[in-house]
Chains A and B, each alone.
Chain A
Amino acid sequence: MKSVRIAQALQAAPRACIVLLAGALGFAITAAAQDANPKGTVKDGYTIRQSIDVGGHIVNDSGSLPMWDTLVNLHTGPRILNQTLDMHALPGSKHFLFDTLFTGSAGYGGDPNNFSTLRMSEGRLYDFNGLFRRDRQYFDYDLFGNPLVPLTTYKNTTGTYTFPQVNHAEHLFNTVRRMTDTSLTLFPLSKVSIRAGYSRSIMEGPTYSSIHQGSDALLFQAWKNTTDTWMGGVDWKPWTHTVLTYEEHINHFKGDTSWNLAGINAQLKSGTPVSMGFNAAPSASCYSSFATNPPTATGACNGYIQDTRREPTRTLFPTEEFRFQSSDIKNFSTNGRITYTDANMHLPNYFEYFNGLESRTTTRAFAINGNSWAARYNVSADYGFDWTLTDKLSVTEQFDFQNFRQPATNLLSDVEQAGTNLNNPPGPAEPADVSIASNFLGQRMERNTIALEMQASSWASFSIGYRFRGRRLGFVQSLPTDALATGRDYTYTDREQAVLFGTVLRPTANWRVNGSLEVGYANNVYVPISPKDFQHYQLRTTYKPKSWATVSGTFNDYENRDNQIGVGYLAHNRSLTAAASLVPSERYSVDLAYGYTDVFSQVQNCFDDAGFVPAGATLMPLGVPCGNAVNTATSKAAFFGTSHYDAPTQFGSIGIVYTPVTKLRTGLGYRMSAVAGHTEFLNPRNVPGSLQSQFQTPYASLAYTVAPGWAFNGNWDYYGYGEESAIGPTAPRAFHGNVYTLGMHYEF
């Protein structure tokens, strides 16, 4: 299948591209003779410049195509690579609609990412900005559920059946996100200006999800979310350096994703399709015949005949915001804002229907109807100022307050039908089991940051600051869970304090060094991976030894820890990176970058399994639970150990641009990211995967000016991905491929 696809691509697409390019080239030569002024034309009182890049990709890739699509997703075909139109009014000319206009687009014709932009303005009347972006996301790489149905051969007296290996990701995504953002400012230079904005984001497409009802079944998840956002605002400038702003934001979310059973892999004796689950094929005793294809299930094991879920959700977020900013007082600038949100989520008609068998509870079918409501009341207030005390001394202050409260209710009415075999119809409907939940999540937070900055000399300045954050959190979940017979209801408070240091040094006019240090401590933490102690060190430097050379480097180290007994959280994110940009002449330039990053974390966990625990794990004491596992004299499954994760990553890149003659511009480069990380394996299907991988992308480019206004562009990009470890029972995920992009640029 893969080879056929490549062959078809190589046969068909180059032909298309060659024809396209030949046509474009012919047109170019003809047009170039006609157009002696490729730098734009003057017409109707405007200077007009346009350009278009037409061409396409020729792609040959081999290896894992799902992985190629997940990481690269470029394919063969013609493209409108780029297009621009730029119009500016000539001095003195008057126009009704616009003085300036710019529109551009890129990537149309099949690339996973494409966009269009439009900017217009008319003197002091208005400014308009519009942006449309489209992103196709293909995701078929899932270490989390790796693999799905394993390659298992069953045999009984009726025959032999081998379940086909399911290699695709448990939660495969093939979605498209379309984002539109527009904004309009009326009278942008007046004392009062008015702003309006509208954004729309749609994400939709086929995806998969899963459900647990005895066994785990694959669900087809028809993803569709739509978000519309409107904004209206007024800016009033009562004094020269003072602006008062009022904005109203209205955000409307529509969740229309639906779920239906997928992954049928067996049948009942009546021929009715049935799913026996997807991540672990049930035992051979669950099948009465392997002579049929698919095999025939006995009907006495967990299985799904139908599973449907609908939960159309609507959420409205209206937000009022008032802002001010002023620097009219000498040496004192200040600003602040207050926002209030009163959001409501409504799910008026929840519906779920299950027809199958959960053997443990002898549930043969159920129908659930219900509704949900939740609100988000948010009040935020922020205020800050910058006060220049003397020529060398200034103080900054910022206070932030946020209080959000989210009450919620959920009502579900569950009507179940009992049964013990899928071949028999469900039993009579039982009385409805109605559950009503009343939940709450709220958090009130105050944060204050004050800093004193001192210009010690013409080449050195220092700052010292202090930050305090306090918060109170409340959580209620009224429904019990397997682990919590009475639900949850608790409050939580913490206080975090940090000292901030900063320095800016300019040892020479061409050398800048910035450093900062943040050292903090929290008296309490909400979750183990929120640090009690943290330090953040940053050092950045930029040096320009020559006007054409810039060298920069960064050391960034974020250290977290929580030494409480039973937590043992230790983490760091350290990076040491450097870059150089050399442009000794207009003819050639070199960009270099190198980075080493180490992301590490460890925390003490308990494990409910005797087979797969981290090295060094020890048995929990008798009678001390680890989830559902409790060690007894005869049964020992609860372990205590340290989970660890370490991802040291090397990154390097080089890019060279060489322009031997004005008409010819060439480029050559290479990017590489390699990680050699380690973590524990908690089940036999865990593999290191991308944690031990290399991703490299060498590239080359060439642009040749064929005639005034005409240029031929050619690009070669190579993408190579490989995993340097065992990949488990799924198909290898390595790939490599070449993307040749050929295009003709015409500017007029």
Chain B
Amino acid sequence: MRRFVTSMACLLLLTGFAASQRALAAGPGQQAVSAPAEKATASSSDFVGQETCATCHEEVVKKFGATNPHTRLALEHSGKGVTCESCHGPGKAHVDGGGDVTKIRRFDKLSTKEVDETCLGCHGGAHPNFERSEHAKQGIGCTSCHSVHASTTPEHLLKAEQPKLCFQCHTDVKPAFSQPFHHRVEEGLINCSDCHDPHGTFNKKNLRATADQNAICTKCHSETAGPFAYEHPVVKTEGCTSCHSPHGSPNARLLNVSNINTLCLQCHSATNTAAFPHAVSPTGPVHNQAAQYVSCTTCHTQIHGSNASNIFFK
């Protein structure tokens, strides 16, 4: 409780601080959003304004449309926020040169890293892990997935909706979602980005995690999060994917194998107890595999953890 009160007090203090800072941030002549370094070093006389850009690039400006968040930003700043020159750099030399294409920043001529630097100039705070992410390392930059000028999803300016966008490269993942048992991604219930952050995380496979650093699976499957009085330790230490294939599987409950007894025996088998510290406990199969014990989970129903049974019966 004391921690909660302290936290709330901190929040309130910062709220007050925010209000005082707001006027400063939005004051005349200030760029309310971060801008690329080039813009910061250029003098204001190098900028011509988006109306000038529109005189030649009317089609491009039209494509932006009212739904583009960059347009919204421009409107919110009376045309001085995010405009063409925020990304393409000051346009005076380009205009004075009669449209000299060498004197304006053209994204199709930039390297992926240069493009990313431009976008992260404003969006770095939202995507702090991007430059170390697998996507960045593989040369998949911002404009690989986002289209600033002509997107199909106004909210995130994606080139295509999820999961179609992701499947364009991850062709190996798409088949899993057509298997009999799968998470309902193609049905639109959840998105790839519910579990993965394509901009990178501190975890492998760009996986998200819950605030207490549990598996992201427990956000929806909250009954498996614990902590339990009796933990099935591998759930916490080895992760959900030791037993489940999260994208899709031919097996019910997205299990890695079709026969649950085989799944359990893979660890609970006394074939080499010396190699595994906990193999000395649930020694091998305590029961035979006859019809009476059709499946391990018939009795061990609370297999993710239990608060009342050390053998996960209840």
* Secondary structure dominating the interface of A: strand
For B313, the closest partner residue in chain A by CB is: A212
Nearest chain A residue, comparing its CB with the CB of B3: A318
Partner of A526, one of B140, B168, B237: B237
Candidate in B261, B278, B289 with the most chain A CB atoms within 10 angstroms: B289
Interface flag for B57 (CB, 8 Å): no
Taking a contact as CB atoms under 8 Å apart, the answer to whether A441 and B231 are in contact is yes
Residues of A close to B188: CB separation below 8 A: 106, 113, 115
**Complex formed: what's the CA distance from A531 to B169 in Å?**
28
Q: Is A260 an interface residue (CB 8 A)?
A: no
Q: Is the CB of B298 within 8 A of A279?
A: yes
Q: How far is the CB of B33 from chain A (nearest CB, A)?
A: 6
Is A51 part of the contact surface with B, judged by Cβ < 8 Å?
no
The answer to whether A143 and B258 touch across the interface, beta carbons within 8 angstroms, is yes
A441 to B265, CA, bound (A): 22
Say whether A495 faces chain B, with CB atoms less than 8 Å apart.
no
Using Cβ atoms and an 8 Å threshold, which residues of chain A touch B262? Answer: 605, 643, 645, 679-680, 682
Instruction: Give the nearest-CB partner of B265 in chain A.
Output: A605
How distant is the Cα of A553 from the Cα of B167 in the complex, in angstroms?
A: 11
Looking at chain B's contact residues, is the secondary structure mostly helix, strand, loop, or mixed?
loop
Q: How large is the interface on A (under 10, 10 to 19, 20 to 34, 35 or more residues)?
A: 35 or more
In the complex with contacts A124-B32, A484-B281, A682-B259, A606-B270 CB distance below 8 A: yes
Taking a contact as CB atoms under 8 Å apart, the answer to whether B271 and A605 are in contact is yes
- State in angstroms the CA–CA spacing of A111 and B237 once bound together: 37
Min C-beta distance of B226 to chain A, whole Å: 7
Within A459-484, the residues touching B (CB, 8 Å) are 461, 463, 473, 475, 477, 479, 481-484
CB distance from B178 to the nearest CB of A (A): 4
Within 8 A of A (CB), among B164-184: 167-172, 174-176, 178-181, 184
The answer to whether B231 touches A320, judged by C-beta atoms less than 8 angstroms apart, is no
Chain B neighbourhood of A251, CB < 8 A: 210-212
Q: B52 interface residue, CB < 8 Å from A?
A: no
B14 touches A695 (CB 8 A): no
Q: Name the CB-closest residue of B to A40.
A: B66
- Residue numbers in B under 8 Å from A255 (CB-CB): 223
User: Given that A279-B292, A581-B168, A649-B179 are contacting pairs, would A484 and B72 also be in contact in the complex, using a CB cutoff of 8 Å?
Assistant: no
**Residues of chain B with a CB closer than 8 A to A386's CB:** 131-132
- Verify if B110 is at the interface (C-beta below 8 Å from A): no
CB of B50 within 8 Å of the partner chain? no
- Residues of B near A690 (CB, < 8 A) are 180-181, 250-252, 258
Closest CB in chain B relative to A430 CB, distance in Å: 20
- The complex places the Cα of A473 from the Cα of B233 at a distance, in Å, of 10
Q: Among residues 262 to 295 in chain A, which have CB atoms less than 8 Å away from a CB atom of chain B?
A: 279-280
Q: How far is the CA of A679 from the CA of B266 in the complex (A)?
A: 13
**B288-A47 in contact (CB<8A):** no
Q: Is the CB of A408 within 8 A of B25?
A: no
Chain A 651-683 per-residue mask, 1 if CB under 8 angstroms from chain B, else 0: 101000000000000000001110101011111
Per the bound structure, the CA–CA distance linking A459 and B202 in Å amounts to 29
* Interface membership of chain B positions 7-46, coded 1 if the CB is closer than 8 angstroms to chain A and 0 otherwise: 1101100110110011011100000111100001000000
Contact with B276, one of A245, A526, A689 (Cβ below 8 angstroms):
A526
Given contacts A190-B18, A382-B202, A396-B131, contact A376 B226 (CB under 8 A): yes
7 intermolecular pairs with C-beta atoms under 8 Å apart: A106-B188, A201-B219, A210-B298, A243-B125, A253-B223, A396-B132, A566-B271
Using A325-B125, A528-B272 as known contacts, list a sample of 4 further A-B pairs with CB atoms less than 8 Å apart, ordered by residue number in A: A190-B21, A191-B24, A484-B283, A629-B284
